[in-house]
C-alpha cells in the first residue's frame, strides 16, 4: 500500500492522484465487498491485542472534501472492534471556551491513551483548511501552523503514538452525485445542507489548501495517505489493509499470565 503514502518533501498535486484507481484490488465491487469481513476480523483481533498489551496508542486522522466518506469509513472499516478500545472524536465549530485557547488545545485532549485507537473525524487540519479558505485568520498566522502541527505530531509520536493520516480523495463529479443522492433519498436528506453547495463553490480553493497541507505535513512520524475514494468499497479495503499492516509492524504480544494458572480449579 506504499503507493498511497506521501513521502516527506513531496509536492502534492491532487490531479496526479486518480480517485478511481483500484490497482491493489483489481476486482469488482461485489468481489471487493466480500473481502472486507475477513479484514474486519483481523483488525478486531489486533485491536484486542493492542488493548491488552497497553503499550502503544494509535491516532487515525480522516480528512476529505464534503461527502468524502469519513463516516462511512469509520462505520465499515472498524465494524466489530471493541468499543472500549476505540473512540471517535469529531471536531465541529470551536466553542467559546476552545476559542479562548490555542487551536491545538481541544485536539490534544482527544489524543489516544495507551491501548486505545482514536479516530479523528476532521481534525487540527481544519485550522489550515477551513481557516485558510474562509480567511478566518491572516495568512501569516495559518502559515506558521504547518510547522506547529509537525512539532505537535512529532511530540505524540515520540511519546508512543502511531499516527496514520488519510485523505479520502474524491473528484467533483462524485461529490455532485453524492449530494444529489442526499436530496433524492428520504433517509439521507437529513445529511444535506444548503451550506454544502456554498462550500462546493470553493472546490478549487480547498484543493489547493489540501495540496499544501499534505505536502508540508507528511512526515516519517505522521505520514499522509491519499486514498482513492470514488469507490467506497475500495476505500474501505485500502484503509483496512494499511491499518492492519501498521498494527502488525508493532510486533505486539499479549501480557504474560499469572504463574501456576494450570493449578487453578474453579468450583
* Residue 8 confidence (pLDDT): 97
Query: How many of the other CB atoms lie within 10 Å of CB of 220?
Result: 9
Mean pLDDT value across residues 218-236 = 98
d(CA 182, CA 73): 17
List the 161-169 sheet strands across, edge first: 5-6, 224-228, 161-169, 57-64, 117-121, 86-90
- Of all residues in the chain, the percent with pLDDT exceeding 90 is 90
Q: Among 45-49, 121-125, 158-162, 262-266, which is the least confidently predicted range? A: 262-266
Which value, to the nearest 10 degrees, does the dihedral of the CA atoms of residues 87, 57, 107, 44 take? -20
Strand partners, 224: 6, 165
Q: Which residue has the higher pLDDT, 262 or 108?
A: 108
Sign of the CA dihedral with 178 first, then 179, 184, and 188 last: positive
C-alpha distance across the termini of the chain, in Å: 51
Q: What angle do CA 79, 226, 237 make, to 5 degrees?
A: 30
pTM, to two decimals: 0.95
Q: Please give the domain boundaries of the chain with CATH numbers for all domains.
A: 2-248 (3.40.50.300)
Q: Tell me the per-residue pLDDT of 148-207, one tens digit each, with 9 for 90 and over.
A: 999 999 999 999 999 999 999 999 999 999 999 999 998 889 989 999 999 999 999 999
10, 215 Cβ separation under 8 angstroms: yes
Q: Tell me the per-residue pLDDT of 89-122, one tens digit each, with 9 for 90 and over.
A: 999 889 999 999 999 999 999 999 999 999 999 9
- Does the pLDDT of residue 256 top 90, yes or no? no
Mean pLDDT score of the chain, rounded to an integer? 95
- Does the pLDDT of residue 267 top 90, yes or no? no
52, 254 Cβ separation under 8 angstroms: yes
Amino acid at each position: 500500500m506504499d503507493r498511497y503514502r506521501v513521502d516527506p518533501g513531496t509536492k502534492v498535486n491532487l490531479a496526479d492522484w486518480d480517485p478511481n484507481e483500484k490497482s491493489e484490488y483489481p476486482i469488482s465491487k461485489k468481489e471487493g465487498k466480500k473481502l472486507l469481513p475477513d479484514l474486519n476480523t483481523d483488525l478486531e483481533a489486533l485491536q484486542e491485542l493492542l488493548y491488552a498489551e497497553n503499550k502503544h496508542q494509535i491516532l487515525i486522522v480522516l480528512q476529505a472534501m464534503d461527502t468524502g466518506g469519513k463516516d462511512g469509513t469509520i462505520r465499515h472499516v472498524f465494524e466489530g472492534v471493541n468499543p472500549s478500545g476505540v473512540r471517535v472524536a469529531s471536531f465541529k465549530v470551536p466553542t467559546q471556551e476552545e476559542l479562548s485557547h490555542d487551536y491545538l488545545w481541544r485536539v490534544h485532549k482527544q489524543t489516544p491513551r495507551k491501548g486505545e485507537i482514536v479516530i479523528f473525524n476532521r481534525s487540527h487540519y481544519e485550522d489550515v483548511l477551513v481557516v485558510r479558505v474562509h480567511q478566518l485568520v491572516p495568512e501569516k498566522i495559518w502559515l506558521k501552523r504547518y510547522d506547529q502541527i509537525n512539532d505537535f505530531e512529532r511530540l505524540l509520536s515520540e511519546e508512543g503514538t502511531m499516527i496514520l493520516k488519510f485523505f479520502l480523495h474524491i473528484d467533483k463529479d462524485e461529490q455532485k452525485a453524492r449530494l444529489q443522492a442526499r436530496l433524492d433519498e428520504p433517509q439521507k436528506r437529513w445529511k444535506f445542507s444548503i451550506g454544502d453547495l456554498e462550500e462546493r463553490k470553493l472546490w478549487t480553493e480547498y484543493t489547493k489548501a489540501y495540496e499544501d497541507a499534505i505536502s508540508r505535513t507528511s512526515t516519517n512520524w505522521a505520514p499522509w495517505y491519499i486514498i482513492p475514494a470514488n469507490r467506497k468499497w475500495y476505500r474501505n479495503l485500502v484503509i483496512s489493509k494499511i491499518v492492519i499492516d501498521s498494527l502488525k509492524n508493532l510486533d505486539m504480544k499479549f501480557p504474560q499470565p499469572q504463574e501456576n494458572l494450570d493449578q487453578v480449579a474453579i468450583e
